[in-house]
Structure 1
Amino acid sequence: AKFMFDVVAVDDDDELDPFLIRGWSPDAGGANFGNMDDAGEAELAGDPPVTYSQVTIFSDNTPPVIDGDISDWDGIDAHAMEYAEGGFTTTAEDYSAYWKAVWNDTMFYAMAKITDDTLYNAGSPFWNHDAINFYVGWDNDRNGEGASNGLHKYLYHHWWGEADDALGFVQDMPDGQVKVVDLADGTGWAIEWSAPFSQMDANGSGFVPEKGAKFLFDVVAVDDDNELDPFLILGWADGAGGGNFGNMDNAGEATLGAVQPSRAVVYSTDTPPAIDGDISDWDNIEGYDLGYVEGGSTQIPSDFSGQWKAVWSNDAIYLMAEINDDTLYNEGMAFWNHDAMNFYFGMDNKRDGTGASNGTHKYLFHHWWGFADDELGGTDGLDGVEVAKFDKADGSGWALEWKIPFSSLDANDFGFVPEEGAKFQFDVVAVDDDDELDPFVIRGWADQSGGTSFVNMDNIGEVTLGGPLPAFFNRTKVYSVSNPPVIDGDYSDWDGIEGHAMNYVEGGSTQTPEDFSGQWKAVWQSDAIYLLAQINDDTLYNEGMAFWNHDAVNFYFGVNNERDGTGASNSMHKYLFHHWWGFADDEMGGTDNLTGVEVAKRNRADGTGWDLEWKIPFDQLDADGFGFVVEEGAKLMFDVVAVDDDDELDPFVIRGWAEGSGGTSFVNMDNIGEIELAIDENPFAFSRTQIDAVNGAVPVIDGDLSDWDGIEAHSMDYVEGGSTQIPSDFSGEWKAVWDNDAFYMLADINDDTLYNEGMAFWNHDALNFYFGVDNDRNGIGAGTAADDHKYLFHHWWGFADDEMGGTADLTGVEVAKRDRADGTGWYIEWKIPFDQLDANGFGLVGEDGTKFMFDVVAVDDDDELDPFVIRGWANGAGGMSFGNMDFAGEVELRGTPLGVNDIDKTSTFRVFPNPVSNELFVSDFDAVQNISLFNMTGQRVLEMKLSGNETQAVLDMNNLAKGFYLLTLTSEKGVATRKVIKQ
């Protein structure tokens, strides 16, 4: 039934005409009183239209493999199953679920992951089992028909505990694949499956699998802890559940989409960065790497790489892009043959095959390197735009920051509203063209972005405008290990695991690292996290009247990873664990019920501080049942805070890892850091060492090894391809030093049978030196690419000194190979200039702090037969380094090269005995003002002030721990150093 209708409001601020009228209908108003022809029309309708759950299923040209390993579904959108019918769930652990799906031209792929604390399949009828059901209606027709009751509607059952191929109802899918697995941690089960569209649409509805195609869809899980009805149902679509079997009108709707876009959240701020060419005010804003490569390849980040950042305010978006590029170019005849940055925007957020500037609401803005700031290609009429382009001061590339008002971005009046939650298409694409010839190299943020985006923006990313910019917090990854450290007070098994410095200071100041400093390390397994805190503190104290007036280490955890203003132990899922110095290992404050926790605290023998290692099970970290899932990518709030209180008075000094950490974290953990669990073997667990600069005369490459005395030796303990029974059979060590121009090495090999008669050169006794000057663990091997910056130098026993295999021009190289006079082996010493190590122009510099990949690998082949025995320095080294140098070690250059005349007789002083047990004698020096001894972490452990007139001194080493130390003599002319070994 229909009738005329209008609503008109009058605003009359006084009794005079005219007053203001607002009406619903066009042309409404006072005239309706005399003539209602302009009024609207109302129609009485039935029930309001039903809205159905909707989803886009993205395409994937490299779909997951149906093999029971669901890790390859990571990164694909998950859809929670939150509609409940027939019961209720109290916790996520009791029962919860989500599903994922992708497609390609011929196949459909789906998975579901079910969290269920009790798995059941003992019921008499099949529907009284735990199950997962997938509903599909290819006709997309809500006509009251149910799954398998309608010609084009299907239901696929998967029952827990049944065989993979036990599919209910529709089984005519010979090319389908199914895998059902129980979750390894016992928390539930999962299923993944695939089938051809043609076999899923057995009755031939005519459905065409293409972008934009729609069909009815739902996923429904059943939890039946016994065989009695009613059981609990969880579904994705509102109104889903058992009713779909007989009537699929309440199922959701799926649309086949393009490739899943890369996504980013851009946060708002009231104080955006200034567009002034200084990008320091972009620090602490999250960056996104330009990781997609098209049109070429880049070997190292300095060749070509980049990132972008963005924030927004009510009226504009602010962007910054920073490009690393070793050759900047803008001389091409066409503008597209220049180094450039391109910003794509699609304000309608529609993936409709239209490209930048080809679609009404899609835009492309070019910025070319070397052009004026205001020369922007793409779309004109950019009122209010600010741009600043500049070259980096160190010559490593260029950067750009700019502001563009939303009104200019929406020049064609799509109606974009800049508010939290608003979405638009977006990409940043950088071009590196070292000359005017195609192809140039493209780097983009979004997967499959690049030059094609100009004509089709469907593959670019998506930005969502977020709320206020989150406070900056430290982030790092913690890696899993197969053999975690033992909690026993011996910290040597933490060697090779990355340390994180505690640099945030609150409540006071520290003058030197020895006064108060520290670092932490962590690894994890499926059941627990392992932590180590190492604290340098020259005065240990625990006599305060209150426990907080003690030296301590505090570990903060927030398993809900929610920055909501709540503090440790004030919120159900945030915890603080105290460890006080001088208390028993098991005296821990914070949260009780620490079953399975292991702790070991230790004072250092040299009195320089204390250390603590501990293991805590994840179930203790999640004592209040948040539902933290231990898996790759899981994140939790985290901080380590140390307290140094040299007496019981406040303020004491606090050192934390996270910026803004400290005492306030107890009541508000918003400022602490975040750790992410990573499942790969710890990438930092490769062998490391430091190589000292020469201190006096460099070793002469002449076969005389006496000038290598006093230089630290590194044992070659890694064995591959066989075994050695005794050191005389096959063993070895290497030494190295450096000066400004070259790297000097010695390798000394014990071998009772020297051999070089094999038919192939690799069947000879040999020494191999690996260098990776880019220090990049990217799976590339020595010499496998012309410009990869990774090299292998062969030295074969019995060959001439200058017969070297490898990958570089050996100009300036010096080599001396010798057999030992007693017949027990052979050795080689050699010098290689840094410019030969950097033959492909990476930019290696011989200076303090430089790091590069390195290994020494010896081969013992007593005949020409494989396998031969390999001995290397780095764990995991050996023959495989030729094809993949990720397992090589790392050396760091340390110190400043000092020649024999740099500090007069200071550089030629004598140190004896070395190794030393008790007293160390230092003699034959003059004009020295200070003698210091440092341990290998840089802590000064002994110091002696001198008048400058002494020529000898004695240091008491009795109370020092065994290990390596660095002895320094300081005069007005410089500093001289020697390595000392305490045994």
Structure 2
Amino acid sequence: MFQKGEEKMKKPFQKAVLFVLCVLGVPALLANEMDGDVLLIPYAVSSPTIDGAIDGVWKNVCWTFMRSYGNSGTLPENRIDLTGAFRVMWDDNNFYFLAYTQDDVLYDNHDNVWENDGWELYFDADNSKGTSYDNVDDMQIRIEHRDQTSADIDAGSWANKDNFVFANVDTLNGYMLELQIPLAELKIPGEWGGEFGFEVQQNDNDGADREHISKWWLLEGDRSWLDPSLFGTARLVYFPIREVLIVGIAYIKPVIDGELDEIWLQCSTLISMNSYTNGPKIPDSFEDLEGSFRLMWDEDYLYGFFITRDDVLYDNHVNGWENDGWELYFDADNSKGTSYDNVDDMQIRIEHRDQTSADIDAPSWVNKNAIVFVNKDHEDGKGYNLEVAIPLSEIQLTLPDFTIPGVECKGFLEFGFEAQQNDNDGGDREHISKWWLNHGDRSWLEPSLFGTAALKLRECPPPPVPDTTDAVKGKTMWAHGFALAQNYPNPFNLSTIISYCLARSGKVRLAVYDLTGREVALLVDWIQPAGVHEVLFHATHLTSGIYFYKLETSEGVLTQKLTVLK
């Protein structure tokens, strides 16, 4: 059983030196997943439409905020003067980039293209980090706000810009840029685990010369266009992103105390709120309202960790939905009806001011006493964390029993889901943000407007494992929580998925070998939590033949055979 904790809350961001983003008050919590200093780029199972909009697959990738705004020597006056954030994904063929610029003045008429409003992306495909451009795979790409066709783009001479697809779309307070670049044009192999040098830059002109430069990685100066050693590092990872929000498995229960425990970082992903236009007004900036959340589950509970950044927290409206708070929507059977069925469609509201389960708003059939939560204010007074544990039974999510004959294992248990923020700055509710719904505020009336989330089921058995394991038979190993499944598909041409299960967290090494015992690919070499894992293996560099893949942990060593056919 988990318990409430009373430990001191961690600060939402740290003090920063001059020119660093935190001077402007951006929360460090809202960033793409990192492995140390490496930006992890997830895998897009379905490709986004390049139209400048946040479509379904983008909704499950969080914003990465620009870290530094003083690289030109002049800081923006405030968040409205310049704020930038981006999202990134990849698939077998393309690199995807979605960027948001908040800027009260967009200017496009300077003779020098780098002095107009726009974005610049920097790549060092082999991550060699040389001190000068090598004219081989180091590249700077510039897309100005005014650019409309691929011919307008500035890029390395060897890149075929006709293969670039992008859209610039103005918004009320700035604009969106969405971009698709073939990995081949960047000279980046489309292989899981591949690392490359990477930097992102914003240029801002308020009517004369360029005033502000923001960067993702470099904290001071503006020599990225000269010196690739100043780039950060990104890694392509096989963390599959779908339009369905995948909820990870918690292998230990979190302490419900409003603090981001390590288990949250290991077993969940950060999801950004995607629409801020659902209320009567649009927030002035991300400082006025910004939200993100994490979800995970175990056999008893659905856990949520919700982060609000808000410069005014207000709790005194007579209507609960007009106070600062979060609303969670569930449709357990994912039937997506046009009205609530009074069976498993529900809305749960937890306001910022709520302190006990009795304060929660929920349907009459829900045992609110079984819901455990903590609201904890950020130390700077500009936001708060809500951490909550909701019994699966109270939202009527029933895990399938695969021991019953005829029960099909699909790997996931899907349900309708929506998350909503309410924001009041001192009068009536001004702002509503949502994870899924782009426009309007009818989630409380119409479950068909919910998105879809899914519990990733650890009970789901893998494909049958043949008798070639080093230890015992595969099914026996899986039953005990440690197994290496046969890759699927097998044989295969370009790529295959390798699944395995860990009974406990620890150091994991997964590698592929040829028949001579020579290692030809290292897929995993780090600590992983208990549970089921998947790895996408690209064999583009291998010739036809038989290979072996070996899983090594403190629990033992398992080996399987795979076949490449080309």
Structure ID, larger Rg:
1
TM-score scaled by length of structure 1: 0.27
The TM-score normalised by the length of structure 2 is 0.45
